[in-house]
């Protein structure tokens, strides 16, 4: 299976802006990750309506932006349902953006991740202590700020640790709430 790769963050931002969508790449990716981690059924297309409702007042996206959203969906679905259970956080890279831009994108990613989990619905579900703590941690990290007058290199190093913590918290949420691909091993065995 080939791995779905997203274009560079700046290229995705350019496409979304050109298509007059008021959503950043981090917000798009975070929302889809949140929906998948919240338990979205893994059926093709069921998530697009929610994406359109949340980001564009229910209106569909132009083709190029929709393609980016679909690439994000497929990448996240592969990562979250694969045997490695991984998750890339889609924020600008170190080389082409500063620590402030990365931190702002991380906050956008977290806020829409939480919104995506909420869209699928956690009400009425009994959440484990681990998931409750992970969601609480994400809300706290979303208050993140960078001191532009401080040591930016030190803050960049700390930001990498924060990104890793966000990744782990998101995986904890997905491990409990997220939909999984059915495998032959999970199929109930009938005894005769």
Contacts of 173 (CB under 8 A, 6+ apart): 37, 38, 117, 131, 134, 135
Q: 84 in a domain, yes or no?
A: yes
Give the domain CATH number at 134.
1.20.120.740
Write the burial class of residue 169 (CB in 10 Å: 0-12 exposed, 13-18 middle, 19+ buried): buried
Domain that holds residue 82: 9-180
Average pLDDT of the chain?
86
The answer as to whether 142 is a domain residue is yes
Task: Decide if 9 contacts 59 (C-beta within 8 A).
Answer: no
Asked whether residue 190 is assigned to any structural domain, the reply reads no
48 located within any domain: yes
Q: Does residue 1 lie in a domain region? A: no
3-state class (DSSP) for residue 185: helix
pLDDT tens track for 170-184: 999 999 998 766 654
With respect to residue 191, please indicate whether it lies within any of the assigned structural domains. no
The confidence score (pLDDT) of residue 146 equals 79
Q: What pLDDT sits at residue 66? A: 95
pLDDT at 44: 62
Residue 185 in any domain: the answer is no
pLDDT at 192: 40
Distance CA(41)–CA(145), nearest Å, equals 34
Query: pLDDT truncated to tens, each residue of the chain (192 aa)?
Result: 446 678 899 999 999 999 999 999 999 999 999 999 998 887 766 789 999 999 999 999 999 999 999 999 999 998 888 777 789 999 998 666 788 899 999 999 999 999 999 988 776 778 899 999 999 999 999 998 877 777 878 888 899 999 999 999 999 999 999 876 665 444 444 444
Q: How far apart are CA 55 and CA 15, in angstroms?
A: 15
- The torsion defined by the Cα of 30, 157, 12 and 48, in degrees rounded to 10, comes to -10
Backbone φ/ψ region at 154: left (φ over 0), alpha (ψ -120 to 50), beta:
alpha
Q: How many domains does the chain have?
A: 1
Would you say residue 186 lies in a domain?
Answer: no
CA atoms in the 13 A half-sphere facing the CB of 106:
30
């Amino acid at each position: 299976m080939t791995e779905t790769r997203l274009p560079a963050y700046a290229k995705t931002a350019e496409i979304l802006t050109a298509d007059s969508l008021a959503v950043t790449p981090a917000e798009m990716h975070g929302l889809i990750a949140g929906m998948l981690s919240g338990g979205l059924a893994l059926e093709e297309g069921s998530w697009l309506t929610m994406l359109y409702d949340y980001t564009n007042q229910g209106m569909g996206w132009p083709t190029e932006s929709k393609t980016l959203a679909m690439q994000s969906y497929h990448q996240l679905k592969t990562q979250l349902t694969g045997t490695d259970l991984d998750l890339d956080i889609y924020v600008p890279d170190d080389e082409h953006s500063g620590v402030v831009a990365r931190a702002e994108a991380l906050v956008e990613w977290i806020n829409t991740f939480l919104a995506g989990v909420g869209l699928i619905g956690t009400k009425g579900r009994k959440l484990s202590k681990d998931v409750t703590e992970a969601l609480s941690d994400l809300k706290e990290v979303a208050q993140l700020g960078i001191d532009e007058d401080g040591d930016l290199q030190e803050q960049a190093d700390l930001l990498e640790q924060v990104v890793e913590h966000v990744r782990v918290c998101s995986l904890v949420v997905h491990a409990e709430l997220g939909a999984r691909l059915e495998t032959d091993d999970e199929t109930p065995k009938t005894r005769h």
